[in-house]
Amino acid sequence: MITIYHWCKSRECGDVLDLSELPPSAMEMDDSGDVYWINLENPTPEEEHRIYDQFLPVHPLSKEDLRFPIRNPGMPPHLPKVEEFRDYLFVIVNPLNHEHRLDEIQKGMPPKQLSAVLTHHVLITQHYGPLPCVEGLHCYLERHEDMASRGPDYLFHLILDAMVDEYAPLLDQMEDALDTLEAHVLEKPEHSILEKLLGMKREVIVIRKTLILTREVLARLIRGEFKLVDAREVAYYRNVYDHLVRYTELIENAREMVADLMQLHLSSLSNRLNGVMKVLTMISTTILPMSLIAGVYGMNFKLMPELEEPWGYPFALGLMFLTGLSSFLYFRWKKWI
């Protein structure tokens, strides 16, 4: 599906066009001042040919990266990056999808891939599946269509801003989940908690890698090294970068907390095992003298004086009770029980 938004400078308004209304080539509107945003969601080969071969020809390597999710089904998306070509700027980022929640970590659901091609007058975005940040730009332009006059670099900043802010609820969920797991680890460490921590660790690794690489992309965009990003828009990109730095710090804290909780869980299990072994050792130590006495009087020798005495049996029982009581009192004195 392809959606074309056209902002016309002469009329100072925007319209949604059909593919047939698109100019033959993007090079024909260098002096018009018009702005086009072309969004391709699950595009057909014909739509891709019309956009990337006729309207705005792109490098074959860019085409490969654009189609990375289709060429590699079931694999994680392409990592974030930014590349400058002669006629356009090519950017890949990894936004979250609608279903990406913390309870999906066991399903191994990675972020999506959003590819963007920018020129002075055209913004092309391509993705597979709905993305909240792209839908948010549609809603924004319906309310503020005149803002499209600032150009594709400003429109793309809005997508990046919404994309980065989508990570905030996920990080909040992650923080709450870690606090809950911490309480469970301290109260009653179980094997199921370790499985949850391992799942959380995988989630943190994926999100951390995505945020760090996206931060590198934003760092290059705010340095002013790309001529297609206007100087007046750099401040907006810097604001997105600041948010991303804060979220990166949060995910680093989450990573450290996961590692600490795993160590705490193992220590709690070890302490729990030590407590069990301590109880069993004290029981064994208490029973051992009794077993010794019972073993001695269990020997069938004829010349054992106590066997013929009427007080022999009560004496043996009393002696076993006395040794057990002595062991118990010793443990209490040492404050082991």
Q: Write out pLDDT tens, residues 30-80.
A: 666 788 888 888 888 888 888 888 888 888 998 888 888 888 777 788 888
Using DSSP, state whether 111 is helix, strand or coil.
Answer: coil
pLDDT surpasses 70 at 12: no
- The DSSP code sequence of 31-86 is TT--EEEEEEES--HHHHHIIIIIIS---HHHHHHHTHHHHSTTSPPPPPEEEE-S
- Is the Cα dihedral 171, 172, 174, 179 positive or negative? positive
Higher per-residue confidence, 96 vs 163? 163
What tokens does 277 get? Answer: 């072994």
- Residue 240's closest CA among 87, 93, 88? 93
What was the pLDDT predicted at 105?
A: 44
Check residue 55 and give left, alpha or beta (phi > 0: left; psi -120 to 50: alpha): alpha
Domains (range + CATH), the chain: 2-268 (3.30.460.20), 297-333 (no CATH)
Q: Which are the contacts of 312, defined by CB distance < 8 A and separation ≥ 6?
A: 297, 306
Mean pLDDT within 314-322: 82
Cα angle, residue 72 at apex, residues 127 and 196 outer, rounded to 5°: 85
Lowest-pLDDT range of 18-27, 130-139, 237-246: 18-27
What was the pLDDT predicted at 90?
A: 93
Mean pLDDT over each residue of the chain, to the nearest integer: 81
pLDDT surpasses 60 at 202: yes
Q: Which are the contacts of 122, defined by CB distance < 8 A and separation ≥ 6?
A: 26, 35, 36, 37, 38, 56, 152
> How many angstroms separate the CA atoms of 326 and 337, rounded?
14
Q: Please identify which residue in the block is written with the tokens 């920018």.
A: 118
Kindly list the strands in the beta sheet with 2-8, ordered across the sheet, starting from the edge strand earlier in the chain.
13-17, 2-8, 35-41, 122-127, 114-118, 89-93, 81-84
What tokens does 162 get? Answer: 């919404």
- Is the Cα dihedral 254, 163, 118, 146 positive or negative? negative
Higher per-residue confidence, 25 vs 30? 25
Name the pLDDT band for 106 (thresholds 50, 70, 90): very low
> How many angstroms separate the CA atoms of 268 and 54, rounded?
64
Q: Taking the C-alpha atoms of 31, 34, 38 and 44 in order, what is their torsion angle to the nearest 10 degrees?
A: -60
Higher per-residue confidence, 9 vs 143? 143
- Residue 160's closest CA among 110, 109, 211, 208? 211
Using DSSP, state whether 122 is helix, strand or coil.
Answer: strand
Q: Which residues pair with 41 in a beta bridge?
A: 127
Which amino acid does the sequence have at 64? E
pTM, to two decimals: 0.74
Mean pLDDT within 277-302: 80
Which amino acid does the sequence have at 142? E
